A and B are shown apart, each in its own frame.
Chain A
Amino acid sequence: MPSFLFWLFAGVMLIFGALVIINRNPIASALSLVVCFLGLAALFMSLDAFFIGIIQVLVYAGAVMVLFLFIIMLLDLRAEERRTMNWVAFTGGFVVAVSLLVQILAVISRTQMAKQTFPPLASPQTDDVRNVGLLLFGHYNLPFQVIGVLILVATVGVIVLSKRQLR
């Protein structure tokens, strides 16, 4: 893919990622997060990982964000907008963020792997849906099944909790 598309989507992701935390309005933050996810999906697709990109849109932009927005609707939005800036929290957060950034940069500059370019995929024309399926139902079959049971347990738990006071 042309590199200008990479810079375009990476730039979009960074801008909207920043908007997520800059916005006072929770809904605007959530919508910025959607754009951020779409940029990430575009980056996946540019790496020939169509399946991962589409799943990114389907699961995150589609399902998870709708859930977020539903929850935000149930909260008191005005309280968040009225809140004034807390300078102590701001300074603390700034220090933590900057130290994290410095640390990551230091680690990357010392690692040998970061200096060499990654080799291209074995064949960019491979059917990535088939590859993901084979890996998921072959090598990682047991963890996959366990996660299925875990989600079932969570579902049953939610039903039990929400039905308790109705009896």
Chain B
Amino acid sequence: MSQSLDQIFVSAKQWILSLLSGTPDWVTTIVSILINISALLGVFLTIFALISVLERKILGRMQNRYGPNRVGPFGLFQPVADGIKMLIKEDVVPARADKVVHFLAPILVAATAILTLGVIPYGRNMTPFAIDGGILFFFAVGSTTELAVFMAGWGSNNKFSMLGAMRAIAQMVSYELPLIVTTLPVVMVAGALSPDAIIAAQDGYSFGIVPHWFVTTPWGAAAFILFFVSGLVESNRTPFDVPEGESEIVAGHMTEYSGFKYATFFLAEYFGMFAISGLAVTLFLGGWHAPIAVLQFIPSYIWFFLKLSALLFVYIWIRGTLPRTRVDQIMNFAWKFMLPMAFTCIIAAAVWHYQGRGLAGWLWSLAVITIVYLTLSLLLETKKKFAPRTYRFVE
């Protein structure tokens, strides 16, 4: 029973494909791909609509107010109202803008966000686009987002857009390094670049209650935290949302976009957040595996989406808690702390592996990470509570 419930979506797809059994192969292939795409878009557009209203409600609660509660029961139809408003707004294109580039940027940014969602396994046998180098594909497509941001900033022909795009690209390029380097220990330990193989490597439980997820090892926990912080930066979320700091540069690279194009940027940002969280779940939180052995009867996709929503809640929680950081603080943090710690994770994972992946390895890798962490914090300590700001190039 639980087996068939677990595979219900896979069986449904097989059933639809079996209706087409008399047709040539390419029809089946195309229909199969279309089913995957529409399922992906349907699920994530629904989550997007839900999260946009839930975020406002949770933030409201954190700031001691109600949040949206007028449209529909508990304000749940707010995304519909927002969507209609966005669709009927006038689409303004600046007179001096590069029309083609200005038009293509939101399309490219949304396309890359949707493509990155494709390689993540959402449940047992439920990977929309299963390829060997899935992790690499994720980062290759993700790095194209920088080009889209550049196109938006440059095509708008506005100094705020340009400044926002430069800030966004600078921080994305800087944090892409720790993001990719922290996935390396996982890839090394699992010995595979495909998300399905990485999830298979995290199968099993110690004593039936401790799952063999990579986050339960010291290097995995450190890498998970680093990955999560880099993910915050890559998706331009608070406290790293300087590219669209309203009080400084209006809305960054999105300043000159209105109506549906602005909504597309908004959507792409949330889809990017889902993709990074989904990859974090896949790499460190055991993907669709249940947290304890006795709960394995619950379908795999439910576990995946529970973990995803837990991570999304942390995103919103952080947004409600922390103020915006400065640009120079973000850059220093990336190069002086994140990158050395990311490399340490690789060494700690190697120590863990060569100590036999047991308790001894666990303690040794914890020792490696602790030593490097303490050394780094000693070296980076400025002894001053507030270092004076230096303006090197403005004299």
Give A contacts to B, CB under 8 Å: 27-28, 31, 34, 50-51, 54-55, 57-58, 61-63, 65-66, 69-70, 73, 127-129, 166
Contact = CB atoms under 8 A, between A and B. Distances in A.
A69 B150 contact: yes
Contacts of B98: 27-28
A166 B392 contact: yes
A45 to B, nearest CB: 10
A27 B162 CA distance: 13
Contact of A65 (B132, B133, B139, B147): B147
Contact of A129 (B132, B144, B151, B162): B132
B262 interface: no
Contacts of A166: 392
Nearest to B193: A129
Nearest to B143: A62
B193 A66 contact: no
Given A54-B137, A57-B140, A129-B193, A62 B154 contact: no
B133 A50 contact: yes
A149 to B, nearest CB: 17
Contacts of A62: 140, 143-144, 146-147
Contacts of B136: 51, 54-55, 58, 129
Contact of B140 (A58, A128, A129): A58
Interface in B347-395: 392
Given A58-B143, A61-B144, A66 B169 contact: yes
B173 interface: yes
Determine the main DSSP class of A at the interface with B: helix
B131 interface: yes
B130 interface: no
22 contacts: A28-B98, A28-B101, A31-B101, A34-B147, A50-B133, A54-B133, A54-B136, A54-B140, A57-B144, A58-B139, A58-B143, A61-B143, A62-B140, A62-B144, A62-B146, A63-B173, A65-B147, A66-B146, A66-B147, A70-B166, A128-B132, A129-B133
Interface residues of B, number: 23
B141 interface: yes
Contacts of A28: 98, 101
Nearest to A50: B133
A73 B170 CA distance: 13
B132 A127 contact: yes
Contact of A73 (B146, B166, B392): B166
B133 A51 contact: yes
Nearest to B104: A31
Interface of B: 98, 101, 131-133, 136-137, 139-141, 143-144, 146-147, 150-151, 154, 162, 166, 169, 173, 193, 392
Nearest to A38: B144
Contacts of B143: 57-58, 61-63, 66
B275 to A, nearest CB: 16
B132 A66 contact: no
Contacts of B101: 27-28, 31
Nearest to B146: A66
Contact of B131 (A31, A50, A73): A50
A98 B169 CA distance: 40
A3 B60 CA distance: 56
Contact of A66 (B140, B150, B392): B150
B141 A57 contact: yes
B295 to A, nearest CB: 34
Nearest to B166: A73
A166 B393 CA distance: 10
B111 to A, nearest CB: 12
A57 B132 CA distance: 16
A28 B98 CA distance: 10
Nearest to B187: A129
A131 to B, nearest CB: 11
A23 B140 CA distance: 27
Given A28-B101, A63-B143, A128-B132, 13 more contacts: A27-B101, A28-B98, A31-B147, A50-B132, A51-B133, A57-B140, A61-B147, A62-B146, A63-B173, A66-B150, A69-B154, A70-B166, A166-B392
